[in-house]
Amino acid sequence: MPINTLLVRSVVTLLILLPATPLMAAQPTTRASSTTWVYPIIKDFGRVHPRPDAAVQPDPSADYKVIVDVVSGGKHNDKVLGSLQRLARLVNLLEYAKVPPEHVHIVAVIEGEAAYAAASNATYRKYFKTDNPNLAILHALKSAGVELLVCSQAMAEHDIKDSDIGPDMTITLSALTDFAVYGQRGYSYMQL
């Protein structure tokens, strides 16, 4: 028998015969979470785990100009888009870090499959047979100062009319041009 085959058989046999080690026994367990979560400005969305000891923190004296690309639709039409939850987390993180609102400039462009999230309840129900779960978070984001844009090209692709869009949204020519325009204005690009 070749030495490599003998070695493999010996290792396999040894692993089978050894009692379970702590590493092998360490399986995820179901237990109550002791993690603390806060919602500094957007209540009920975008939870933040406080970490005042973290090495990198936002500078409250700096200006934050971010254009966020919300492009992915959700797998479950009755749930808030995960990308909108992350957007709310970004806003909450900056508030948690005590960055004043006048230093936070966030523009969110909703495009692609995510365009349905910008639809009114009546329109969303027409497509998905359920109320639009994203309207509350979109309203909370706008109330927190986030500029909400929806790509008219994505609307056309998905047969969504201007009158089908929720009240917190602004219709724009296209996500593609929005990123160029805001990039020239000094905004950093972030995709969620």
pLDDT per position as a tens digit, 121-179: 999 999 999 999 999 999 999 999 999 999 999 999 999 999 999 999 999 999 999 99
Provide the pLDDT for residue 31: 54
How far CA 78 is from CA of 30, 81, 88, in Å, comes to 26, 9, 18
The SS3 of residue 148 is: strand
What are the backbone dihedrals phi and psi of residue 22, each rounded to the nearest 5 degrees, phi first?
Answer: -55, -35
Nearest-angstrom CA–CA distance, 176 and 163: 22
Specify the pLDDT at position 2.
Answer: 54
Give per-residue pLDDT as tens, 27-41: 444 455 789 999 999
pLDDT at 73: 85
> Domains of the chain by range and CATH?
64-191 (3.40.1260.10)
Residue 176 confidence (pLDDT):
97
Residue 88's H or E segment, with its range, is helix 82-96
pLDDT at position 34: 86
More confident residue, 66 or 17: 66
CA distance linking residue 88 with residue 40, whole number of Å: 10
Give the model confidence (pLDDT) of 60-107 as tens digits. Answer: 999 999 999 999 888 899 999 999 999 999 999 999 999 999 999 999
Q: What is the pTM of this model?
A: 0.81
Q: Are 117 and 132 in contact (CB under 8 A)?
A: yes
The pLDDT value recorded for residue 15 is: 38
